Amino acid sequence: MTSTIVVSSQTQGGGTTPVIDAVTDTTAAVNGSTGGTTTALTSNDTLAGNAVVIGTAAGNVTLTGLSVPAGLFLNADGTVTIAANTPAGNYILEYKICEVNNPSNCDSVTSTIVVSFTLPPPDIVAVIPDFTPTIEIDTLIFTSKTSSKDFVVRVSEISGFSSNGQLILKLTKGVSFTISYDNSNMSGSNPVNNNDWIITENSTFITIKLKPSVIIGANASSAIGFKLNPHSDIPEKTSLPITVTILNNLGTDNNNTNNTNSIVVEFR
C-alpha cells in the first residue's frame, strides 16, 4: 500500500496561508478624448485559487493603489476611470491586494492602461452637453462660532443635452471651518440630490461623483447639500474660499471654461 503525504509550502502560525495572486493586465484601449472606464484590473486576481472579492468581510481582499498616473483614478471596484482629454499612451498603474483575514498576506502588480485619442466628428461635438457649477448659500458672514449654515453645490446643464458618463467634482476644504454632508436633505426647503452622488473626502478635497446609473437631463440640474460650521477656536476675521470644480470633459462636458465656481465666507 502506498500513502501520499501533502505538505503545504506556505505556513503561518501552524496553519496554511492562502496563496494570493495579483495578475498583470493590459486593458483594452480607452479613448482619452472623451474619457471612460476600464474593466476591473482585479478580475483575474485570485485568493486560494478563487477569484478575489473586494470588500471588508472575511475571505475578501482590500485594494490599494500604489502608483496611479495623473488623469487616471483607481476605483474601489478595481476598474480605472480615465479622465477626458487624457493624452494617448500606455500608462503603468501599480496596485496591491491584501487578504482581509490576514492583512500581511498581500501581492502587488503593475498593469498597463492603454489610452488612445480620437476626437469626435464635428457634428457630434456640436450636440454634447455643457455643465457648470454654482455654490448657493444664504449669507457669507458668520457671527457666531456655534452657528452653522447649509449651502448647496448645484451642477447645471446649459446647452440642451443630457449627461453621458460620470461627472466628478472637487470641493476644497479649509482648516478653520468644517464642511459636512450626508444623504439627507440638508438644505431644508431647497431639495438636494445627495443620493445621486458618491461623496468621499481626504484632507484637502471632497470628491463628488455622479452615480453611474444617474443622468443629469438636458437643461436640468442636480444639487448636493452641505453644512458649514466654524471651528470653536476660529480667530476673528478669518476667511475661507470655497471652490468647486468639475473635472474637465467628464460626462462629455464640452466646455472647460465654466467648470469652476468660488465663494468666500468670513467669520467676524
125-158 pLDDT, tens digit each = 545 788 999 998 878 888 887 788 888 999 999 8
pLDDT, greater one: 173 or 104: 104
Please say whether the beta carbons of 245 and 133 come within 8 A.
Answer: yes
User: Do 182 and 67 reside in the same domain of the chain?
Assistant: no
Residue 10, in any domain of the structure: no
Domain boundary among 96, 116, 136: 116
Mean pLDDT along residues 153-169: 88
Cβ contacts of 267 within 8 Å, gap of 6 or more: 141, 142, 143, 145, 176, 230, 234, 235, 236, 237, 238, 239
Output the pLDDT for position 185: 46
Residue 187 has pLDDT above 60, yes or no: no
Query: Beta strand 30-31 with 106-116: parallel, antiparallel or unpaired?
Result: parallel
Domain count, the chain: 2
User: Do 259 and 178 reside in the same domain of the chain?
Assistant: yes
User: Do 143 and 36 reside in the same domain of the chain?
Assistant: no
User: Do 108 and 198 reside in the same domain of the chain?
Assistant: no
What confidence category does residue 5 fall into, taking pLDDT thresholds of 50, 70 and 90?
Answer: very low
Output the pLDDT for position 182: 64
Q: Whole-angstrom Cα distance, residue 242 to residue 169?
A: 13
Output the pLDDT for position 87: 92
Q: Whole-angstrom Cα distance, residue 164 to residue 76?
A: 21
User: Do 173 and 238 reside in the same domain of the chain?
Assistant: yes
Residue 129, in any domain of the structure: yes
User: Do 86 and 145 reside in the same domain of the chain?
Assistant: no
CATH of the domain at 77: 2.60.40.10
Residue 1, in any domain of the structure: no
Domain boundary among 94, 116, 138: 116
User: Do 245 and 152 reside in the same domain of the chain?
Assistant: yes
pLDDT, tens digit (0-9, with 9 covering 90-100), for 95-109: 999 999 999 999 999
What confidence category does residue 36 fall into, taking pLDDT thresholds of 50, 70 and 90?
Answer: very high
CATH of the domain at 204: 2.60.40.1510
Cα three-residue angle 171-156-260, rounded to 5 degrees? 40
Residue 13, in any domain of the structure: no
Range of the domain at 27: 18-116
User: Do 150 and 251 reside in the same domain of the chain?
Assistant: yes
What confidence category does residue 15 fall into, taking pLDDT thresholds of 50, 70 and 90?
Answer: low
Residue 203 has pLDDT above 80, yes or no: yes
